[in-house]
Structure 1
Amino acid sequence: MHEFMVGVATSMVTSVIAVALSWLRTAGGRRWLMRRLSVISDAGIDEVHRQQRLAGARLQADLERARWVKVMAGRGNEITRETFQPMWRDVGARIESVQVLLPHPDAVWLDRRAQEIVRHDPGFGVELLRFQVTANVHYVATYATRLERVELRLHDLPHTARLVVTDRVAYLTPYAAHQHARSSPCLVFRNPSPMYDYCLRLFAVAWDFGAPPAPEITQRVHLDAADLWRGLLDSTRPGIRHTR
């Protein structure tokens, strides 16, 4: 009888361990383990996404609860998409303020970033990157002119990461030289934590170096589109190189 009870207990313990290990392999299990380790280490890591694009649903949910938002992006494409619609929809109501930092379309840094990207994405060039940045500047500037609680600044700083900070969390995507930002890992830090404070300070320092866009910058979208197409056409002609 004793051996039977020991066998049953051993079987139950083994089953519980197997179920627990299986659960820890799931996204929810990994998230729970990450949070427990973060609490123990005081690092503040709430979640790690292997790719930034996989963090979109979580970011959208956090924007649904945010009171204020600060964004620093290297290009800003996602700002115009569904992920950020809760922010644009509720700014001035639930969301008290929005601050967006984008590179100046003529920033020297864009040349270097374009050179990095074109190594693994031959269809990508500096003219395309400048056009996309200009279009996104135009998009945010339109909101900024209509809503006083939206601020836009441009910078020409070495920028190798994307930041999205709310009053609750901070999203940090370190840009890798060999891939697009959407494929780079994205780390989420909770407030309060040392890394959340660092992300907030990083944004504040970059914000102080930025400046509102001049009117002619936000009016360059159509002109840059024409330049882009000319550059693409000229690049297909042997011996001809288009310059601005």
Structure 2
Amino acid sequence: MREDNDVGQVLAEICEAAAALILPLWRSGLTVTHKADESPVTEADKRGEVLILERLAARFPDIPVISEEDASEFGTPDAIGPRFFLVDPLDGTKAFVRGDPNFTVNIGLIQDGRPVAGAVSAPPSGETWYTQMGGVLKRTRGGPSAQVRVRPWPKGEAIALVSHTMKDETIQKLIAEYGFDHREPMDSSIKLCRIAEGSADIYPRHGPTMEWDVAAGHAVLEAAGGTFLTPEGEPFGYGKADAGFRNGWFVARGG
């Protein structure tokens, strides 16, 4: 297989193919069903995952894959090796169902508990962010790629990206803890990409996520100069098979 510096480009192409498949299904009145944990799932999630799994198998046949819909139906493995992909074919399904544009396609490569390559595509806007040669490139609708990077913390103007459902009292506690000035509600891993490109500054997540929700965005953010750590400032690891690949809290920051 290619070196990790080049894997991001391949993952970007796969994400964009899945995004092209998913986009016509957005706002099309798809039937919404619910998984065992009551989270929504649509035909877009399922079709996107099939495409991604087929293309990963063709390009990287020796690397195992853990993907959201497969894990929901069949469960997660009891153990995983040091190198594997994490796939979320449609992160932000609730936004997708509402007709909001902030949903993404995500593929991250994990090596020894750390994300070493990743790509994220946003179907409605046509944006794709991906790791390459130690940095992050962004392109829109197949256009030319340009490098992006986090911005320095803008004192007095720092923007936090938060959940739509977050209560005001919780936001006030986060402001006191992290010192941001403005907040913008947003769904999905696109929050990590907005920080990576210097459009926002912090995403404090004091709540549950799964590894496939954040692995690709984590790879992108770190490659763009940001950090993705526990609230205590410790490294954030992957491959938590004993916990069903569930995450603890984290804080994603720009410069």
TM-score past 0.5 threshold: no
Which of the two has higher C-alpha Rg?
Answer: 1
TM-score, length of structure 1 as denominator length: 0.25
Higher relative contact order (CA 8 A, sep 6+): 1
Which has the larger share of strand?
2
Which has the larger share of helix?
1
TM-score, length of structure 2 as denominator length: 0.25
